[in-house]
Structure 1
């Protein structure tokens, strides 16, 4: 089967009313996430495929906020359709609550899904269950989804705009102006350091040092998907809601919509970088400047995809990303579970992943390129599974 025919068959499975550019954007985002999450060795990774060490950003730092933005776009499309049908608001909130709970539960499942087969005295109960990381990627997506749905249902465009402004400026004010103390009574205020910020203090107090990602951070253990930093993430989803309204506005032409996304995207990228001079761009703290900047890039890239795919008609290249995007949550779960299994399956005294990297990929391609080729191979293996499910029209819905 030729590539052209293959791509046409893949794209023909989608309903005719789907926003192809949005599906491709979702697919590109989840593809990038799986690629950067699965190097052959974390000791050998090209810098753009790592998160910024603290302030600043890399291309990898764009991935998660893109997902948050896409959640907002999808909410707008679904909520507008449901409200047009007259669906009861409480019913929609109930459904959103169930979905949020499922996402949160799946996140906890991934946090618990690991067993160290190489340590004879390893206790899964003590090491995982009793110290489970409460927050995470899926947990944040669930919370952001629920709060965004509620805001969309009870506030119009002006109210949603106020929410975005309030969340971003309010987060800046809270982080910079509210004092907090450590166990020794030392008072801090306005710090944005690793382990020393109001967000870190709150995570340490509420979640506890054993239940966060940076459990050894001092003076406060914290989580990059923590409690306080989830609130500005809601602003990113609400920006996606405005974009979803734009994309479904039948009174505007596709070219006009694309120009609007380009203009707003460039304006927000510049505004975010300027804002970063006052409130540094930082993914781990999910600073307001980070939200503004990443929203700008999301708009710009979605606008570019809309122009390329829907206006110019260059679609065939996008088929693999449509396959990944159509089952984004399942793809994320599948990749995370398989990656953990590769770390748990022993080959002699090392894991299957370690054996593959050290015995196959590193000798063939070198350390850095071998680590990258392992990630690409993992991606291709995942594609085979997602492709089979896509052709059978099996789509995982949370």
Structure 2
């Protein structure tokens, strides 16, 4: 949470942090500007002091709406600096020099936010070499802002819950759309008698998302049969919607304007499920229930990946615990943190460098699955979990987990 920033900065030995870049699609900047409707700018946070928002003159009103103290960069007249020095990089370094001097920034400064890698590399090296009294710092693993964002306050959790309600509404509308079609020759057909296709369903899902005022920047998954057995296959548009085949519907939209994400998956079979699919689905469903029952504050996150692998291996399925290269059985990690990015802390990978433990405020997914593309099926169930300030575990995904949809 933002209230942890000073502590996190002290742990990293940071005297100040500068977050920059666009706001939209830049979780660190969105977070630090409180979602202000800016094109871009900078947020400067000195340890022990409130953050300051630096913006260009055209966006001063939007900047003020952030609730932060605003510094108008127009006062530095960057255009005149460029004309004087004749070099864009040199002028940018000079701008930083003047801003840091005016705001009393010195010592170790962490830099955060999204920017072209080459541009950032050149600029940060120049700043480190040319700004006296400034040591440029960057994080390779979990950044300062990532660590703060990992735990959510009550307002953030409620925003995620609300996105979840609207996401569930999209899934419900999709099921109704499927059920509105008649069956012919073991497939769904449209009013003109042509088969209903994955592409046609995708069109409707996009419409349902728009009706719920949700953005879909990552692109949802709605795939059938063999494609359902490849975890991130989005589905081939020409595939027909056939009965008895697994359909994986993984949808992860966010609030309009670049806000908080939700992420849920349901697996369906229309009309009936073959026995081997039914058996595998029961095992995935049981795994979800065991995990949700087991989540507890203070437990290493990687423990739940170990638990999932042990569960599936005891039932005869290959997992990445025994074969890290396997493409059948259980092939991925059991979850990920969720917030302003679709993947954030905590991490659940069972690797020695993962020291994440579950904490109050964590929001994350629970998503075991089994995948057998050569046998024509795959499945996943995914719910979003929130641990409240008292350590109580809440499932934010209010949607049934039935496998068979009647048509």
The structure carrying a bigger strand percent of its residues is 2
Structure with max Cα Rg: 2
- TM range, smaller chain: under 0.3
Q: Report the TM-score, using the length of structure 2 for normalisation.
A: 0.25
The structure with higher relative contact order (CA 8 Å, sep 6+) is 1
Higher helix share: 1
